[in-house]
Structure formats: C-alpha cells, structure tokens
Amino acid sequence: MRLSRYFLPVLKETPAEAQIASHRLMLRAGMIKQASAGIYSWLPLGFKVLRKLENIVHEEQVRAGHTPMLMPTLQSADLWRESGRYDDYGEEMLRITDRQGRDLLYGPTNEELITDIFRSHVGSYKDLPLTLYHIQWKFRDEIRPRFGVMRGREFFMKDGYNFDLTKEDALHAYNRHMVSYLRTYERMGLQAIPMRADSGPIGGDDTHEFLVLAETGESEVFYDSAITDLKLGDRSVDYDDWDQCASIVKEWTTPYARTDETHDDAKFNEVPEARRMKSRGIEVGQIFYFGTKYSEAMGATVQGKDGKPVPVHMGSHGIGVSRLVGAIIEASHDDKGIIWPEGVTPFHVGIVNVKQGDSEADAACDAIYKSIEALGLEPLYDDTSDRAGAKFATQDLIGLPWRITVGPRGLKNGVVELTCRRTGASEELPPEQAVEKIAEIYTPHHHTERPEPMAKRSFHTWM
C-alpha cells in the first residue's frame, strides 16, 4: 500500500477523552473513530488488525475441531423468555420492538439462539460431540463504556458452544478450548493467563478467564509468578487426545492464579512469598462449563445410547476480539507509539522515502516495494511529500515492526537502513539484503506464534 493512496488520519494532538495508552494510540494512529459512546468505526488500519485477529481466532478454532457459522445480531425475545434470561439479564440488554410489535434484542451472547438451532436439528447421541462457533458483533449497554474498544457497548466477540453427551465429554471440550485459547493468544504475541473466575450471568461452576497482565486492566489478579514461565510454543497438540489436553490444562491451572472474585488468601499464602504476585489484568476471554442449564430449560435433548432422551451437556467459550486490539497495544507500546507483534501487524514493513521526488530514491523505493509484495508480504510505503521527521514519527506511532529507510545519501554507498521498531536498532545494508532479511523474519520457522506455513495464511484458510 502506498500511503498517498491510503486513509490514515493520524492525529498530532493527544485526544483529551482517552485515559489509557491503547485508547490514545488507537485514536492517534487513525485506527478508530468514536461513533457514539462505546461504539466505534474501524478505520482502515484498525480494521486490518481486527481482521488479522479474527483470522487467527478462526484458524485456531478450526484446528481444534470446531465449526464456524454465523448467527444474526438481532434475536427474538421469546427464546430468552424460555431460558428465563430475558428478565434476568437486566439493563445491559438492548431491547428493540419492531413494527409488528415483536420484542427483539441485540444479542449480548448466544446461548439461547444456538440451543434453539441445536434442538431443531440434532436428535441423537451419534451426532455428538459438536462445537459450533461464530465471530459476530455483540451489544451490551454497559453503564460505563470506557477505555475505547476495551469496554465498548458494541464489540466483536468469538463465541463458541459445545454440545456433549456426558459431563466427561463436555469437560474435554472445556480443556480443548483452554488449549486452543492459549495457542491463539500466543500467536498474537500475548501472554494470557487462565484464572479461576466467577461465572456471572452465563451460569455454571467451572469457568476460567484469560487475563493479560497490564497496569490499566480492570480486574485485580493474584498469581504465582511461576505461571508466567509457561509457554505452549510449537509443541504439537492433538485435540482429540483427552490426556494431552488435560495435562496441558493441569500445567496451566496448577500454579495459583485467580481474579479478585474468587481470590482465596489462605491458598495464596501457600505460594512461596517471592512468587506471590498481585497485579491487574485485562480479560480477553472466558470459558464456561454449565452442564444442562440451557438444554433443560429449552428442551435440548438427544436420544441416548439406551434410546431415552437426555439433556445435552454444554459450555460456552468467548474471546473478546475487538478488546484484544486494545490489549495488545497495552502490552506492547512505548512513548512514541504502538509496537505490533509480527503475528498481528497491519503491514509487515514500512518503507520511508526521505527524499520523495529524488529519482534514485523513488526508483529504489519502488523496487523494494515490489520485491516485498512479491514475497506475499504487505509493505506500507510512505510516498507522501512530508518531511523525513514527520514520516518517522508516523511510522513509530503506527508501530510496524520493521522499517526500511531509503535516501540519496545511503544510496550513493549502495545501502538503505533497516530498523527494528521494538529495539530501535538499525543496520545499513544493500536493498536486496534488506528485503532478504524481511523475508527471513516473516518465514514461519522463526516464530512459534505463527505455526502455519506462509502460503496457507491467506484470509480464508479457515473456511
């Protein structure tokens, strides 16, 4: 992409309404614009990151054996009356009446709708296990929307629902979700710690939240620092292997890690003092096992092995996709701007022409641009007539992990400059070698967060 043809409305001033870094930086980098309280337009740069995260979520869900679909944003109130949640959900639910006087609502989650689909089409234990999910906009009329996309009213969420014959089967589904979530967050360059949590309006006893540690997080968290050493890395996971999934879950759930809702001082004090950590965290996902709560209320039964109808065991599992954009920035930025992890960056490399209009510099930039595109990577070429200083500031603000700087002085010596956004380290090298380095950096074997071969990482690999 050439910047002169893109839409990147960066702001010089820090917007007064933004209290935390990610909100400030998303506004300044031209990623989002507030449409009304807690509701945002996703401008091209923000939209690109959102789509990248969505794609990673899809790939990891499909890898775990879960099936994508799409349910609508508007739901019939009648379904929610069946489960009893129409009245229970309270003021957070946005209720709408259509011209026929029918009660609708903008879905805050989809347990009822998916259970209705299930009971209409699935009748036998032979059709189980089944896990269906979608990634769709949700609406919760939060009393205090704040921190930009972090606590929005309209937000983008992956929600998945497992249907199983027995509790044991459903607990395997729970474990499978936990493992697939660990992998998902790692690919995004994040560490998200599963913590025993409270189930709230979703219901059920077994639930974990996934928290990214950050000063600005809304939850208070208590954990054994040993858990921060755990990494899934590139170990291969067989999602049908109950024992393997259970042992990974055990590894992550043995060290103490809880939110303030379930914190237990006595248990926490058993952790050696030097490893006892108290911090704040951003909740980027939550998994639930709630047994037959919805299937009993809504008559979702299957014919069991003995021919008798049995209510299915269910769980639901959510990832806050739009919130993750903010969470990644909270975890990865400096005073100059965002620093994208390579797995989610909107463009792979920035090209800065310090002397636009200089025929040699222009030609060198064009050549680099074309060779990077030929690698299947996306460069963002700043071909505007801005001063070099302004171009660098924009690059630092929008946080592409790598920058190639091209100018007449370097070109006289046959070199360009390759700069790493995270460390600030620069090296001078011939243009072809800079391109080779970029190719090498984005080759999958370098990055455990990106286990898929490059050719398979196009937009629709999960379909």
Instruction: Give min distance, CB of 155 to ligand 5CA, in A.
Output: 4
ω into residue 129 within 30 of 0, thus cis?
A: yes
Distance separating alpha carbons of residues 208 and 259, to the nearest angstrom: 10
DSSP letter at 312? P
318 binds ligand 5CA (CB under 6 A): yes
Instruction: Give min distance, CB of 60 to ligand 5CA, in A.
Output: 15
Distance separating alpha carbons of residues 108 and 93, to the nearest angstrom: 7
Instruction: Give min distance, CB of 30 to ligand 5CA, in A.
Output: 21
| Residue that is written with structure tokens 């949590």 in the block | 197
Residue 87's nearest CA partner among 96, 100, 75, 78 is: 78
159 binds ligand 5CA (CB under 6 A): yes
Contact pick of 24, 52, 134, 151 for ligand 5CA (by CB under 6 A): 151
Distance separating alpha carbons of residues 300 and 161, to the nearest angstrom: 13
Instruction: Give min distance, CB of 38 to ligand 5CA, in A.
Output: 7
155 binds ligand 5CA (CB under 6 A): yes
Contact (Cβ atoms closer than 8 angstroms) between residue 319 and residue 287:
no
Which x/- pattern over 249-288 shows residues binding ligand 5CA (rule: CB under 6 A)? ----------------------------------xxxx-x
3-state DSSP of 63-131: HCCCEECCCCCEEEHHHHHHHCHHHHCHHHCEEEECCCCCEEEECCCCHHHHHHHHHHHCCEHHHCCEE
∠ CA 341-342-343, rounded to 5°: 95
Phi/psi of residue 427, nearest 5 degrees: -140, 150
**Contact window for ligand 5CA (CB under 6 A) among 53-61, 314-322, 383-391, 444-452:** 314-322
Distance separating alpha carbons of residues 260 and 217, to the nearest angstrom: 13
State both tokens at 330. 């909270």
Contact pick of 316, 345, 356, 394 for ligand 5CA (by CB under 6 A): 316
184 binds ligand 5CA (CB under 6 A): no
**Contact window for ligand 5CA (CB under 6 A) among 166-174, 310-318, 383-391, 402-410:** 310-318
- Which residue of the chain is nearest ligand 5CA when measured via CB? 320
State both tokens at 357. 């209009």
140 binds ligand 5CA (CB under 6 A): yes
Instruction: Give min distance, CB of 391 to ligand 5CA, in A.
Output: 33
Contact pick of 323, 333, 348, 391 for ligand 5CA (by CB under 6 A): 323
Instruction: Give min distance, CB of 47 to ligand 5CA, in A.
Output: 16
194 binds ligand 5CA (CB under 6 A): no
Residues between 197 and 226 that touch ligand 5CA (CB under 6 A): 202
Distance separating alpha carbons of residues 221 and 199, to the nearest angstrom: 16
Task: Tell me whether residue 116 or residue 159 sits nearer to ligand 5CA (CB atom).
Answer: 159
3-class DSSP assignment, residue 306:
coil
Residues contributing to the site for ligand 5CA (CB under 6 A):
109, 140, 142, 151-152, 155, 157, 159, 202, 283-286, 288, 316-318, 320, 322-323
